[in-house]
């Protein structure tokens, strides 16, 4: 399973999965500091970070992020952190 984590709170919710190396992790640009990302990679976690921040409430930005991840991990289950409200933009 591939994880798309958009907020620090979302990361904390799935941290146990990340640390057990359950699958690749894609992080929003502002979720973890560079040393935290380096520590995860050093422990063997497959981590990718978006360079531009994804607005978790923007359907367009979420769809773009999902499309990017699907290019890299075709036919894999994707868990996406989403807020209660997502706008059409």
Domain borders along the chain are 2-80
Give alpha helix (H) positions in 1-89: 8-19, 34-42, 59-72
**Dihedral in degrees, nearest 10, Cα atoms 75, 21, 14, 84:** -20
Spell out, as residue ranges, where the chain has pLDDT lower than 50. Answer: none
Question: How high is the pLDDT of residue 77?
Answer: 96
Whether domain 2-80 has CATH 3.90.700: the reply is no
Encode pLDDT of 26-49 as tens digits: 999 999 999 999 999 999 999 999
């Amino acid at each position: 399973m591939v994880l798309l984590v958009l907020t620090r709170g979302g990361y904390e919710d799935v941290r146990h999965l990340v640390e057990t190396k359950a699958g690749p992790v894609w992080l929003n640009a502002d979720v973890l500091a560079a040393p935290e990302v380096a520590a995860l990679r050093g422990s063997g976690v497959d981590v990718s970070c978006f360079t531009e921040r994804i607005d978790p409430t923007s359907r367009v930005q979420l769809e773009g992020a999902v499309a990017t991840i699907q290019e890299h991990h075709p036919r894999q289950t994707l868990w996406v952190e989403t807020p209660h409200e997502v706008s059409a933009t």
